[in-house]
């Protein structure tokens, strides 16, 4: 059965881009302001202040017209120099990205390999740091999107702080606004995120906040840079402006989103994500499926092993797409065809997750898995009913 | 638990207005054309042609900037005269509306009362017509939205045609584009609908198609009228225009919707609605609930009896609204607080209906009904899995 084109309703359950609320879409549908106007400068000022609230920091936050990878690069080119040794915790596709970026700019990258699906052991980080006193940075993901695992950010930061003066560099692209990551309180030196995740916006904006300690190390960087050289941003910031043309429309929309975060506070946002994630995991388990992550579950995304009854695992993603116009993510690299990933970060509620579980049940059943229809969604419903807050 | 304002997602499951597809919302977000321009006249021409396709008629269709009630009034003031006797099949709130409109314009209205929740018996129509040869019209609802019942349009039309020369006047506001109502083939004389139902648009447009027979009776009407006097529309139509300022933006959007109907054909649209409706009914029954309609189920909306375990029945509607931002309809008049109504006409798919059933389960459970969570949605999922087309 094909989707009837009249009734096709596209639903995105990928770990970014995530759905955009209607009011935000309306804002995005308005003409962009000019970026050298008072109207925009007022917005930018508020956005920067509210980003500090979101990052839980007193330090300034930078915005880039870029994807999250751009802000990862900005971090590397501003904080490190060619030949600097850095430790990358590499437990997935995005751990690998830190390795690639570091290498592209001449850093000496040591990978601390972590089996896909597992979080790094804090003791392994300690061991690596004790073995090499030269590390200038420890780079990792707060939430490794490819495996749906959270690394223990707080513990890692503690270990670095107590044993080493390396910078703690956190890719929080799918963690900011999902998991509690108080930057100042935990002593994180660089925290990176993007617009198309928990912030409910289209892609195109990346964010970076740097600790005082990181700010001081900036001048030592010997990597050539221009677009991402923060000194240009600092200069422009004296006039409340940005160095290059900012993504004005996205920033106007971000302003609305951030105001909502400020109004509602962060704690209920983290609770909300934890609840949706746990309900989703319960639903998946009740279907008789296995989670691909081995504990340390991300509240941004859930990775599910394709059951052995479905030999061509990539069909789960394509059937959801072709039959229900639902976008979920497949597995990457060695998990390709073996895993599918369901996102619950950003503009989702429990009704969304229940509808996704229904669609997953229908899909798996259709593809030959021994699914008892209604069982997974029932377990998730039960969890949501029992866990109001 | 309240909805977190950041994640509130409004979902409308009322029998109108119904959800509007994103592409149509975009069209509605564009500047309206001027109505005396070639660009608009071309659109209007195509819209009128495609309305004929939708009404399954060779006769012209009229558009009004009005709600459906406006087109009901237009029908009465153009086809009847003060003192004319008409028979109204009154089995719900909208049957009553025919009575009120008829009386407002001086018709002698005879009500054929039908118990709420039941469809009229064709034999009762025949009996009424045989008892009074003076009836100039038989007015009824193809789908009585208040009770979620369909009256037997074809049988009623047959009886009138074979026994009487009264006009067959059909309020198809929630039936057009949902149930198969071939106007010419069944000999319907007036068929009425509105934009905010199966046509997936905001309210503001009403439609009326008249048979040749009805067109001929128009000149006999002795009811004073201006806005709804079709002679003004006929005159303007010579130049491809409308008599009064049309709801240009809505008509531009209607153009897109109707083109989709034409491209996909009507049969799959009727099938789609029948499938969603049956899945919904199965889900409701599997929850242990009773349907309020006694057979002759509408495929536009399902009316459900509030279980006796929930003494304050109106709370079902208010809890769905306050806790999940879901709008469903309550019962009207004598059904107030005793019934809630779930719509499945227009821009819905099975994932929508499953998510609604999940929300209904959570709501009823919360309000104290002995609901086994997952059972209703499971039964509906089962039905959808077994009934692909």
Which chain B residues contact residue A358 at CB under 8 A? 351, 354-355, 358, 377, 381
At residue A9's C-alpha, the angle toward residues A6 and A10, to 5°, is 135
Considering only CB atoms, which chain A residues are within 8 Å of B256? none
Residue A352 to residue B274: CA distance in whole angstroms: 24
Question: What is the structure's pLDDT at B250?
Answer: 96
Contact residues, chain A, for B354 at CB < 8 Å: 354-355, 358-359, 377
Q: Distance (Å) from the C-alpha of residue A192 to the closest C-alpha of chain B? A: 22
Q: Is A235 exposed, middle or buried (0-12, 13-18, 19+ CB in 10 A)?
A: exposed
Chain B contact set for A269 (CB, 8 A): 4, 6
**Contacts of A26-30 spanning 24+ positions with Cβ under 8 A:** A27/A252, A27/A253, A27/A256, A28/A202, A28/A249, A28/A250, A28/A252, A28/A253, A29/B29, A30/A249, A30/A252
Give the distance from residue B56's alpha carbon to the nearest chain A alpha carbon, in angstroms: 18
Give the Cα separation of B117 and A237 in Å (integer): 68
Residue pair A221/A77 in contact (Cβ under 8 Å)? The answer is yes
Distance separating the N- and C-terminal Cα atoms of chain A: 40
Query: What gap in Å lies between CA A184 and CA A244, rounded to an integer?
Result: 28
Listed as ranges, residues in chain A with pLDDT below 70 are none
Nearest CA in chain A to B351: A355
Query: What is the predicted pLDDT for the residue at B4?
Result: 82
Please tell me which of the candidates A1, A354, A355 has its beta carbon nearest to residue B389.
A1
Distance from CA of B255 to the nearest CA of A (A): 14
User: Which one of B266, B280, B358, B371 would you mutate to disrupt binding with A, by most A Cβ within 10 Å of its Cβ?
Assistant: B358
Sign of the dihedral through C-alpha B219, B224, B226, B229: negative
pLDDT tens per residue across span B214-229: 999 998 889 999 999 9
- Residue A381 tokens, joined: 């419903």
Complex prediction ipTM: 0.89
* Subunit contact A373:B381, Cβ cutoff 8 A: yes
Kindly state the helix (H) or strand (E) to which residue B156 belongs, with its residue range.
Answer: helix B153-163
Q: Do A6 and B261 touch (CB under 8 A)?
A: yes
Q: Which residues of chain A does B1 touch, with a Cβ-Cβ cutoff of 8 Å?
A: 388-389
Identify the pLDDT of residue B220: 82
Per-residue model confidence (pLDDT) at position B3: 79
Angle at A195 between CA A194 and CA A199, to 5 degrees: 115
Distance of residue B199 Cα from the nearest chain A Cα, in angstroms: 10
Q: What is the pLDDT of residue A220?
A: 82
Q: What is the pLDDT of residue A389?
A: 73
pLDDT tens per residue, range B253-264: 999 999 999 999
What chain A residue is nearest to B256 in terms of C-alpha separation?
A6
Chain A hits for B355, CB-CB cut-off 8 Å, are: 351-352, 354-355, 358
Q: What are the structural domains of chain B?
A: 11-18+266-386 (3.90.1150.10), 32-264 (3.40.640.10)
C-alpha distance from B312 to closest chain A C-alpha (Å): 20
CA distances from B123 to A298, B113, B116, B187, B298 (A): 64, 13, 18, 19, 21
Instruction: Give, as one character, the DSSP assignment of residue A389.
Output: -
- Is there a contact between A269 and B4 if contact means CB atoms under 8 Å apart? yes
- Nearest-Cα distance to chain B for A353, in Å, is 9
What is the enclosing helix (H) or strand (E) of A131? helix A122-131
Please give the Cα distance from B208 to B68 (Å, whole number).
9
User: With an 8 Å Cβ cutoff, are A373 and B355 in contact?
Assistant: no
Find the angle CA(A72)-CA(A73)-CA(A78) to the nearest 5 degrees: 105
> Cβ contact (<8 Å) for A5 and B260?
yes
Out of A1, A347, A351, the one facing B324 most closely (by C-beta) is: A351
The torsion angles phi and psi of A173, rounded to 5 degrees, stand at -60, -45
- Distance from A215 to chain B by nearest Cα, in Å? 33
Distance from CA of A385 to the nearest CA of B (A): 6
Query: A148 to chain B, minimum CA–CA distance in Å?
Result: 22
- Across the interface, whether the CB atoms of A351 and B355 are under 8 A apart is answered yes
Choosing among B3, B7, B322, which should be mutated to test the A contact, i.e. which has the most A CBs within 10 A?
B7
The number of C-beta contacts closer than 8 angstroms across A and B is: 132
Q: Are strands B108-113 and B85-90 parallel, antiparallel or unpaired?
A: parallel
To test the contact with chain A by mutation, choose from B1, B3, B6 the residue with the greatest count of A C-beta atoms within 10 A, namely B6
Q: What is the pLDDT of residue B87?
A: 98
Rounded CA separation A193/A270 (Å): 16
| Cβ atoms A364, A350 nearer than 8 A | no
Measure the CA–CA gap between A348 and A342, rounded to whole angstroms: 12
Does B366 sit within 8 Å of A381, measured CB to CB? no
For the record, the structure tokens of A109 come out as 């990258």
- Report how far residue A354's alpha carbon sits from residue B364's, in angstroms, rounded to the nearest whole number: 16
Check CB contact under 8 Å for B384 and A378: no
Cβ-Cβ contacts under 8 Å for B198 (sequence gap 6 or more): B18, B174, B176, B177, B178, B269, B273, B300, B345, B346
Inter-chain CB proximity A3 and B349 less than 8 Å: yes
Return the exposure string of B287-299: e unless at least 16 CB atoms fall within 10 Å of the residue's CB, then b. Answer: bebebbbeebbbb
Interface test with B, best of A12, A373, A376 (most B CBs within 10 A): A373
Q: Which residue has the tokens 């009011």?
A: A23
Place of tokens 């999902």: A178
Among the partner residues B4, B358, B361, nearest to A264 by beta-carbon distance: B4
- What gap in Å lies between CA A17 and CA B232, rounded to an integer? 52
How far apart are the CA of B79 and the nearest CA of chain A, in angstroms?
35
Using CA coordinates, name the residue in chain A closest to B283: A374
A265, closest residue in chain B (CA to CA): B6
Give the residue among A353, A355, A179, A181 at the shortest CA–CA distance from A274: A179
C-beta atoms of A355 and B359 within 8 A: no
Instruction: Return the pLDDT at A206.
Output: 97
How many helices (H) and strands (E) are present in chain A, helices listed first? 14, 14
Q: Which residues of chain B have pLDDT under 70?
A: none
Cβ-defined contact of A355 to B355 (cutoff 8 Å): yes
Token output for B380 = 């509906």
């Amino acid at each position: 059965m094909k989707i009837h084109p009249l009734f096709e309703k596209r639903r995105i359950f990928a770990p970014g881009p995530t759905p955009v609320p209607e009011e935000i879409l309306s804002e995005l549908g308005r003409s962009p302001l000019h970026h050298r106007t008072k109207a925009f400068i007022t917005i930018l000022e508020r956005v920067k202040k509210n980003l500090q609230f979101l990052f839980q920091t007193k330090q300034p936050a930078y915005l880039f017209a870029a994807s999250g990878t751009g802000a990862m690069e900005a971090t590397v080119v501003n904080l490190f120099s060619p030949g600097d040794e850095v430790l990358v915790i590499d437990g997935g596709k995005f751990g690998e990205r830190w390795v690639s970026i570091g290498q592209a700019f001449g850093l000496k990258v040591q990978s601390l390999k972590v089996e896909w699906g597992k979080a790094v052991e804090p003791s392994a980080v300690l061991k690596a740091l004790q073995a090499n006193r030269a590390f200038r940075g420890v780079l990792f993901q707060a939430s490794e999107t490819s495996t749906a695992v959270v690394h223990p950010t707080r513990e890692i930061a503690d270990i670095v702080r107590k044993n080493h003066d390396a910078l703690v560099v956190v890719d929080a692209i799918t963690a900011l606004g999902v998991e509690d990551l108080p930057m100042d309180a935990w002593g994180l030196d660089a925290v990176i995120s993007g617009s198309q995740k928990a912030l409910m916006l289209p892609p195109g904006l990346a964010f970076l906040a740097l600790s005082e300690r990181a700010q001081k190390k900036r001048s030592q960087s010997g990597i050539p840079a221009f677009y991402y050289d923060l000194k240009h941003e600092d200069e422009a910031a004296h006039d409340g402006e940005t160095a290059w043309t900012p993504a004005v429309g996205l920033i106007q929309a971000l302003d609305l989103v951030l105001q909502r975060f400020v109004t509602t506070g962060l704690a209920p946002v983290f609770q909300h994500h934890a609840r949706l994630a746990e309900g989703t995991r319960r639903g998946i388990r009740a279907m008789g499926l296995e989670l691909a992550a081995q504990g340390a579950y991300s509240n941004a995304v859930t990775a599910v092993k394709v059951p052995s009854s479905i030999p061509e695992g990539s069909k789960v993603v394509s059937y959801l797409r072709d039959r229900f116009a639902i976008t979920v993510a497949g597995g990457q690299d060695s998990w390709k065809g073996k895993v599918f990933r369901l996102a619950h970060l950003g503009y989702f509620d429990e009704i969304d997750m229940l509808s996704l579980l229904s669609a997953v049940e229908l899909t798996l059943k259709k593809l030959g898995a021994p699914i008892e229809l209604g069982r997974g969604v029932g377990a998730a419903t039960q969890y949501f009913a029992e866990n109001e807050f």
